[in-house]
Amino acid sequence: MPEVAREKPVAQDETLVQLLTPDGERIDRATGPDGTEYSVDFTDDEYRDLYRDLVTVRRLDAEATALQRQGELGIWASLLGQEAAQVGSGRALRPQDMVFPTYREHGVLYCRGIDPIMPLSLFRGVDQGAWDPIKYRFGLYTIVIGAQTLHATGYAMGITKDGKVGGDDGEAVIAYFGDGATSQGDVNEAFIWSAVYTAPVVFFCQNNQYAISEPIERQTRVPLYQRAAGFGFPGVRVDGNDVLATYAVTRHALDHARGGQGPTLIEAYTYRMGAHTTSDDPSRYRPQAETEAWQARDPIARLATFLRRQQIADDAFLAEVDEEARKTAVHLRERVLTMEDPAPGSIFENVYPHGSPLLDEEQARFAQYRQSFEGSAY
Amino acid sequence: MAAEVLTLGKALNLGLRRALERDAKVVIMGEDVGKLGGVFRITDGLQKDFGEDRVIDTPLAESGIIGTAIGLALRGYRPVCEIQFDGFVYPAYDQIVSQVAKMHYRSRGLVRLPIVIRIPFGGGIGAVEHHSESPEAYFAHTPGLKVVTCSNPADGYTMIQQAIASDDPIVFLEPKRRYWEKGEVDAEAPAFPLHSSRVTRPGADVTVVAYGPMVRTALDAATAAGEDGRQLDVIDLRSLSPLDLSPVYDSVRRTGRCVVVHEAPSNVGLGAEIAARVTEECFYSLESPVLRVTGFDTPYPAARVEEEYLPDLDRVLDAVDRTYGW
Ligand SMILES: Cc1ncc(C[n+]2csc(CCOP(=O)(O)OP(=O)(O)O)c2C)c(N)n1
Ligand SMILES: [Mg+2]
């Protein structure tokens, strides 16, 4: 029988836009695969703000994981390890930009200035993550893999129709998804539509190396960012654990989109340090050594090293940030514990904007039924 | 093998193992089914023992899973596809409804697609949205597909093997909240035909028809009703398409009362079909209309109210009571 190469590894590709090495060395400028130059020019305050964001986002995430362990949340999808990808891209957004998240974008949500309590109702099971996506410019968390990339594309098409590209007030959209999601038809259709209509959308793929248990080899033979070329728009791989590079690349792609130049695919190369969700056990499918190796590329440690070395921050500052984050987390916890369970009758609400006779009837019967237990031992 | 006490999950795992042993053309495919053994561990250990060619971790694309299963079936394989959760079958809906279901008909019987589509379904596990749905009516409504569901370990063990051996494409629904419930599995016990329903607990007063996760609920209701002196005849449908209703008709002709229980919403659901057929067949025996106890006609609600949504023992008993009110 002829030999068939079935286990071809993903083509190696060292191209990675990086402005801050894992050792905390600052790189002045980096060049993307199409020659685009990336750099950032932050003030000391801005550097410190980024650090604060990263630490806070990680601390809140740890609190949510703890809440789940204590039975206060049904499940939690941790972003541990992906803080820089989320804070870097989240901070690159302008107020008028629109976000379409998955279920893991807690860090982006935080950077939008949204109360981190908001998604916890979904994970606690008191509702399904009900917030006004237009008010917050932050879409509903989307669990069905890839679906939101098409929503983002359609929203971006609307921006173009409204003439909100090209000018100073240009709007852009960012769609988040994972490495696994790139296999879905919806995501590939979103690439096609956005290219055909030059839609102002940035596809932000956090390649955290896994789709639950499946490594990236199960989804692709080429580095994901290279797929963009086939659809006719730029693709770039950024060090997703480098908050500076992620910021620079995302800001550039968003401005490219809002300027009427169409979509970009950003592959933020990162790693999911924790389990897929609190229901998952990664020891079944990935070696501890791999996770440890990624520990050396931690997004927060490298920024701390840099800040210290540049004397932008000292130990007192770092300790103060930790303490503030702890307080924010405690406050979050207190509010989660007091979240009210939904009223039983709420099941029937909002199925349709104007109700339905069938539901009215069911709800009335349900109320009557529940009443029949009143006063009984039940 | 002597009779063993197994969980439903383990019984399904063992049934899949037997099918892989028996027929080299059987392949298992789905997201996380290999190394991880599936998120519910139903395929645990199978890739290790049968290899990556037979237990395949697929890309994250449900339409791809079913579409490629069709091609594999055309090459003589018997794909057993796992859809990770009920709410994630819809990207594959087109392949299932327009391709899998119609291939035999369109080819005038020249093409058979012995594909099994396993779907953990139903609620009760406190999950977030899309993880608790009951999509059976969509598939039962589709000519060309067969739809079955097991309610206990013994049935899980035999039915999965029968489904894989069948020449029909079969949607195989697994009541996920019952995965951890135990029961006796006797590999040598004579198997009931796959598409047959069964009386699981005989009783003379009211016929209660259930399937999948609701069989346990109906049995619990029967125990409670028994304490009040009412005997429920509990029938486990097992097959949702085709329906095997003769045991139901036989029962209703004796009891004159019938309650159908399912988690899925009532509107245009399985219960409506069963009520209509029972009414047609048993009209003169009925003492009351056929009643349905179902989920409400809303999307599946948030976890902290799901107990209100799901039919439970009390709602079954309430309906049983109401059959006496006519
Ligand atoms: C359509 C669909 N199929 C399956 C699932 C179950 N599922 C939830 S997350 C996940 C893996 C997602 O991997 P990736 O896109 O890499 O994102 P990550 O979770 O790693 O951030 C799967 C298979 C789902 N939510 N939606
Ligand atoms: Mg991933």
What confidence score (pLDDT) does residue A13 get? 67
From the CB of B88, is ligand 1 less than 6 Å away?
yes
Q: Name the pLDDT band for A8 (thresholds 50, 70, 90).
A: low
From the CB of A179, is ligand 1 less than 6 Å away?
yes
3-state secondary structure (DSSP) of residue A84: helix
What confidence score (pLDDT) does residue A9 get? 57
Mean pLDDT of the B130-151 span: 98
Residue bearing tokens 């405690």: A330
Taking the centre of ligand 2 as the mean of its atom positions, its distance from the CA of residue A318, in whole angstroms, is 30
What confidence score (pLDDT) does residue A4 get? 54
What confidence score (pLDDT) does residue A12 get? 65
Strands B55-57 and B116-121 come out as: unpaired
The answer to which of A159-168, A185-194, B308-317 has the lowest mean pLDDT is A159-168
Which tokens hold the place of A357? 């006779």
Q: Name the pLDDT band for A10 (thresholds 50, 70, 90).
A: low
Q: Domain A30-337 is classified in which CATH homologous superfamily?
A: Thiamin diphosphate (ThDP)-binding fold, Pyr/PP domains (3.40.50.970)
| pLDDT > 70: percent of chain B | 100
Return mean pLDDT, chain A: 95
Record: contact B303-A127, CB cut-off 8 A: no
Higher pLDDT, A378 or B85: B85
Residues of A in contact with B129 (CB under 8 A): 122, 128, 143
Mean pLDDT of the A355-366 span: 97
CA separation, residue A255 to residues A193, A200, A348, B15, B265 (Å) = 19, 9, 43, 56, 47
For A342, residues 6+ apart whose C-beta sits below 8 A from its C-beta are A126, A127, B301, B302, B304, B305
Active site residue B262: no
Nearest-angstrom CA–CA distance, B285 and B101: 37
Q: Name the pLDDT band for A169 (thresholds 50, 70, 90).
A: confident
Mean pLDDT of the A38-43 span: 98
Is A11 exposed, middle or buried (CB count within 10 Å of its CB: 0-12, 13-18, 19+)? exposed
Nearest-angstrom CA–CA distance, B178 and B42: 12
Output the CATH code of domain B4-185: 3.40.50.970
Record: contact A144-B127, CB cut-off 8 A: no
pLDDT tens for each residue of B226-259: 999 999 999 999 999 999 999 999 999 999 999 9
Please tell me the residue having the least CA distance from ligand 1 atom 20.
A211
Nearest CB to A369; choose among B306, B309, B318: B318
CA triplet A48, A52, A57: central angle to 5 degrees?
150
Q: Name the pLDDT band for A167 (thresholds 50, 70, 90).
A: confident
Per-residue pLDDT at A7 exceeds 80: no
Per-residue pLDDT at A14 exceeds 80: no
pLDDT tens for each residue of B114-124: 999 999 999 99
Q: Name the pLDDT band for A3 (thresholds 50, 70, 90).
A: low
Ranges of each domain in chain B: 4-185, 198-322
Q: Name the pLDDT band for A91 (thresholds 50, 70, 90).
A: very high
Nearest-angstrom CA–CA distance, A17 and A236: 8
Per the residue annotation, which of B131, B141, B195, B262 is the catalytic one? B131
Best residue among A212, A217, A224, A269 to mutate for probing ligand 1, ranked by most atoms within 8 Å of CB: A212
Is the minimum CB–CB distance between B110 and chain A shorter than 8 Å?
Answer: no
CA triplet A183, A185, A189: central angle to 5 degrees?
120
What's the CATH number of domain B198-322, 3.30.450.40, 3.40.50.920, 3.90.1650.10, 3.30.70.1560? 3.40.50.920
How far B2 CA lies from chain A's nearest CA (Å)? 31
Per-residue pLDDT at A175 exceeds 70: yes
Record: contact B305-A344, CB cut-off 8 A: yes
Mean pLDDT of the B100-114 span: 98
Nearest-angstrom CA–CA distance, B122 and B310: 9
Nearest-angstrom CA–CA distance, B173 and B240: 10
- Cβ pair A123, A73 in contact under 8 A: yes
Per-residue pLDDT at A77 exceeds 60: yes
pLDDT tens for each residue of A279-295: 999 999 999 999 999 99
Hey, do B4-185 and B198-322 end up sharing a CATH topology, with the first three levels equal?
yes
Q: H helices within B62-152, ranges in order? A: 62-74, 93-94, 103-106, 136-140
